[in-house]
Structure 1
Amino acid sequence: MSVRSRAAATGAAVLVLACAVTGCAGDADAGPPRAEPSKAGGPTAPVPPPGKEATEISVPLDRYGPSPGELETIRAAEDVLTGRCMRGKGVEWKTAPRVPGEETQPRNRRRYGVVEPRIAEIYGYHMPAERPAVARRAAAEKAREKGLGAAARKAAHGSGKAPGGCVRKAKETLTRGLPDADYGLLDSTLGATYDRALKEPEVVRVFRAWSACMKKGGYDYPGPMQAITDARWRKGDHVSREEIRQARADVRCKERTGLVAVWNAAETRVQRAAVKAEPAAFEKLEKARSAWVDAAKRVLEKA
């Protein structure tokens, strides 16, 4: 598996995983929602910037895989390299608009479920719509792909007999010469430390406190990940009033119990222990990540 594919898979795994130990006072759902039910990411839904509740979440293993902003840098560099290859074949290739790092989704946005009050008010448990720069890039890529003729498509993506093409060549060019690293170790450690943190006594206690808080509003879940993965919220893009009410209550109960801080401290502790157990392997991972991003930046500097 290529370096980029491995890191992308790692980011997806974190997103899936992510997807004050005192009691709570007051109603867990005071007042009506302040946002109309809508389509998640629909044309009328505002796209607020990520809240600090999400942007400030970090864990030690973050440093060993590219951040969302760094992956955008890598993606832009691959696009430039693809364009060079395509022009070498006499085919036009319009590079997509670049995305500033601050326009990407926070790396750990859903690590502990929904944590941003404003996002809960608009999207409930659905993922927020992409920021404008990301949406523009995606639209440009989609339009470019749709406009490819047969010859251009073959040059870009290869064919059944000759898979790859310029897109694949660009990825290989960017990762050529990067330091070797054990990306499987990063994947497995992400999962193992997440599971281990869930069993830490303080995390078990704060989950109970959060659950008790939610019950005061009429919501019965043993933990926040059961709330966000409830099948009721996965039926299409529609965000109902009930979903918004519950998501708002969820965020308030996290705030009242200090759940995010407690959970994050436990996960930070077990991740640091895991890194300490294999320092040489993780040092190689950090060097590989840094070299990959630096290679992408050099490509863009010459573009």
Structure 2
Amino acid sequence: MRNRTSPVTGARAMIPLAAATALLATGCGGSGDTARDERNYKDTEPVVATSFANAPKAYPLDAYRPTTAETSTVDHAVRVLAGPCLKKFGVSWPAYEASGAGIPLNARKYGPTDLDSVRVYGYKPPLPDGVTRQEAVAAQREAQARDRTITPAAAAVYTGTTQEARKKGGTSTEVPAGVPEGGCHGQARRAALADRAADDLTKVQTLFFEASATTKKDPGSIALDKRWSACMQKAGLTYPDPLAAADDETWRTTRTSPNGPHPSFPAPSAKEIATAEADVRCKAATGYVAKRHAIESGHQKQLIEKNEAMLTAVNDRKRRMIERAETVVAKDKK
């Protein structure tokens, strides 16, 4: 459950409000404490408005990767540019739909940080601020419905890859002759100057991970973790650092009501909520987030200096990609 969020441009726009956390939905059952939390999370339950108020702010390396809004603009442009190619082969693709509000970048880098949020979600990923459970469910269903309209023939043309048979005994759908490399999607990404975006994002993310690794070994971080851990021990909880608490297997194996506040996750147990509350209080008492952010920012600045030429090139490609995308989208809206 160590969250490393980043904007990703993919071939399909799937489940806008929950995509970032869908892969973590393995906590829906399993062995463990069989006590159930039967709180009734209604679809229209009041929204938690402060899930990220105390989350880490921007890091130096954030300047080298697109924001969520910029990524959305690029996705929109790619969809527009793919249109003529799809039409040429007599297929269609769902119209571009802007994703709803998302979880801020780095919001859970050190685990949860806001009491109001953990009292509802525990350690489970929260819905974006301002989103109700009802809205999240509706967004999931709408995205799934759009995905079901995509035919194998359209997918073969759009992606440039053979589509396996959907049913046993069925036939695969081959890519028609003349489809560009990478399909209409690949061609559109090249036209949008986005064909190197994924590689550039990987380069920046690699530096993020490197900075996180050296930060963890920094004497200041080690001392900070010890202070946080000592605070948790006063509450009868033993964890070496915040991510160890967030990653506790108990939260994924304890049986609780499946009707949780987030439609993709079961309800948190009372123990999970109590632990998360103590965690957030200890972060506040030790100044954990701000101090860890400062230490990690320092390590990132060192890496930026060492990789100046590479990052300058990445930033230049990002700038040109976004400018191109904005131009395409502006023309599409006329």
SS in structure 2 of the partner of residue 8 of structure 1: coil
Which residue of 182, 207, 213 maps to 2:225? 207
Residue 92 (structure 1) shift? 3.9
**Equivalent of 1:282 in 311, 320, 326:** 311
SS at match of 1:175: coil
Quote the residue 1:23 is aligned against.
Answer: none
Contact 1:210 1:253 in 2 (8 A): yes
Structure-2 residue corresponding to 1:93: 93
Distance of 1:147 and 1:179 partners within structure 2: 28
Q: 1:206 and 1:64, CA in 2 relative to 1: closer, same or farther beyond 3 A? A: same
Aligned with 1:148 (options 150, 170, 188): 150
**Corresponding pairs, count:** 271
**Corresponding residue SS for 2:192:** helix
Structure having the larger proportion of residues in helix: 1
The two structures have a TM-score, normalised by structure 2, of 0.70
TM-score, with structure 1 as normaliser: 0.76
SS of the equivalent of 1:85 reads helix
- The separation in 2 between residues aligned to 1:74 and 1:144, in whole angstroms, is 20
Please state whether the residue corresponding to 2:54 is helix, strand or coil.
helix
Equivalent position of 2:302 in the other structure: 273
Question: Which residue of 168, 177, 183 maps to 1:165?
Answer: 183
Alpha-carbon distance between aligned partners in 1 of 2:161 and 2:103, rounded to the nearest angstrom: 34
CA contact 1:99–1:137 (8 Å) conserved in 2: no
Mean alpha-carbon deviation: is it higher for 44-53 or for 289-298? Answer: 44-53
Give the deviation of 1:157 after TM superposition. 3.5
The alpha-carbon deviation at position 84 of structure 1 amounts to 3.9
Moved more, 267-276 or 91-100: 91-100
The alignment partner of 2:108 has SS state of coil
Secondary structure, aligned partner of 1:154: helix
Match of residue 30 from structure 1: none
Look up the SS of the partner of 2:238 in the other structure. Answer: coil
Matched, 1:239 2:268: yes
Confirm or deny that 1:189 pairs with 2:207: yes
The amino acid of 1:242's aligned partner reads K
Deviation at 1:180, TM superposition (A): 12
- Structure-2 separation of matches of 1:250 and 1:230: 13
Gaps of 5+ in 2: 1-5, 10-19, 25-36, 163-173, 176-180, 254-264
CA shift in 2, pair 1:233/1:73, >3 Å: farther
- The answer to whether the Cα contact below 8 Å between 2:123 and 2:246 also exists between their aligned partners in 1 is yes
Spell out the pairing of 1:256-271 with structure 2 (5 A cutoff).
Answer: 256-271=285-300
Report the aligned-residue RMSD. 3.3
TM-superposition CA deviations, 1:132-162 (whole Å, max 9, x none): 7887665444212202334334333444243
> Residues 1-303 of structure 1: matches in 2 within 5 Å?
8=8, 43=43, 46-49=46-49, 50-54=51-55, 57-99=57-99, 103-130=101-128, 131=131, 139-160=141-162, 161-162=174-175, 164-175=182-193, 185-235=203-253, 237-303=266-332
Q: 1:270 Cα shift?
A: 0.9
% identical aligned pairs: 28
Displacement of 1:262 in angstroms is 0.9
